[in-house]
Structure formats: structure tokens, C-alpha cells
Amino acid sequence: MTQILFTERRGGASAAPFDTLNLGDHVGDDPVAVAHNRRVLARQLGARPVFLRQVHGTEVVELTEDTPDGTEADACWTTSTEVACTIMVADCLPILLTTPGGDSVAAVHAGWRGLLGILEALAQAWPAARTPAQRAALHAWLGPCIGPQAFEVGEDVRAAYLADHTDNARWFTPLPESPGKYLAHLPALARDRLQRLGIAHISGNDGTPEWCTVANPSRFFSHRRDARVRGSTGRMAACIWRG
């Protein structure tokens, strides 16, 4: 049976500005607190969460019991019951996927750069997603991320998405008071991209405020909201595993 979990910021040992369940070991938090928080997560999962080194790229890796933390990739998949596909976020969009029978699962880290290729890379690398029929059977869940009310981007981001697919224009709202600036709808861009790959069973983040990391400071870490004020912020995790 496939299981998913998305952590929030409560329930850990980290002090401000990482209070309290920070899972990122690269943001300046006390390593002892991070290690404690990761053990808390592992106990919840009943499997080992594998923490990737995410670089906003398109590298995909298969997770096994021997895959070390820090493996560089922005998507992963596994058939093992011993490990959990784990994506760390603090505004980027986590996408969790499973086969209908739960015999294989995958996870994707999708910031705006990575979304321009990471799903296609996963479809090529993941044996469960290589054919149209396989992709049509998959189920995808979108986790919390920066919402369309808060995700301000420049013309360069909009141009990159329009070059990829002209229909993407509808997910960029101009800001009249800031020429050349737009509000981008990251969950909608991801849904469109999944659907163009033939993945139609999509649930989770629909872009409403309750899913927005920026708009919910008591629940979620947000790099855009917190880093400019506090200098840094913590990381949450989206996990999918075979229970």
C-alpha cells in the first residue's frame, strides 16, 4: 500500500528561525537538532527517508537500501519497502507519484526551473512511467508550495514557459504596478505538464490559499517569506513510500 506524508514546521527540536521540525542540513541549523528531527520523521514513516541533494536540475535516481543521503538528484523512484522517496521544500512544489497497485513510487522536486524538464526525465527513467498506458494509470499528488497569490516572477520565467508551450500564458497574471512582473501559478503549470504526459489522476494542491507556503507561517517554512527577514529558514519534506 502506498503511503504519503508532508511534514509541517511543528514537532521538532530546532530553535528559531528553524522552529521546529527543520529537516534541512544545509541551511545553518544545529546539526544535532536536524539529526533529531530526521529520526522523528523516520519513526513516523517506518522506513528510511533518503534526503537528496536537490539542485533544481533534471537528474533522476533509483533509491535502494544503499542509496546515501546527499545523492544529487531532483527526482527519485523506488520499489523498495525499506526507503521513502523524500523531497525537501520551502516554496518549491513537491510531486508524489504511485502506480495504481503501489508496487513502485516516485517523488519530484519542482521549482520553476526544474519543472521545465524534470517530469519528462522521470518518465524516461522510471520503469513504471515509460509508456502512455503506464502514465495514464499513475496517480500524482501535489503538495504545498508558493501560491499564485505570492509567486512573483520576471519576464524571463514567463518567456521560458511560453517557449515551452504557448498555453502556459494563462498561468501568468501581469502586475500592473510592476511592468515586466507576473504572478505565476506553479501548481497549475505542473498539472498541465502532468496532463500533457498523459497523467490524469492528479490530486492535492489546487492553488488555493491553504496550500500556499508563504501565506501560512504557522504551518509552513517559506524561503521567500522568511529568508529576507531572518536570513534563512527551514525545510519541510514530502515523502512517499511503500507501506
List the CATH number of the domain containing 86: 3.60.140.10
Total number of domains in the chain: 1
- Measured distance CA(21)–CA(219) in Å, rounded: 11
List b or e across 87-98, with b for residues whose CB sees 16 or more CB atoms inside 10 angstroms: bbbbbbbbbbbb
Give the pLDDT score at 181: 98
Cis (ω within 30 of 0) for the bond into 2? no
Decide if 8 is inside a domain.
Answer: yes
Give the pLDDT score at 231: 75
Decide if 180 is inside a domain.
Answer: no
Decide if 164 is inside a domain.
Answer: no
The residue ranges of the chain whose pLDDT is under 50 are none
pTM, two decimal places: 0.97
Give the pLDDT score at 227: 79
Decide if 110 is inside a domain.
Answer: yes
Decide if 33 is inside a domain.
Answer: yes
For residue 62, the enclosing domain spans: 2-146+198-242
Decide if 11 is inside a domain.
Answer: yes
Decide if 15 is inside a domain.
Answer: yes
Decide if 154 is inside a domain.
Answer: no
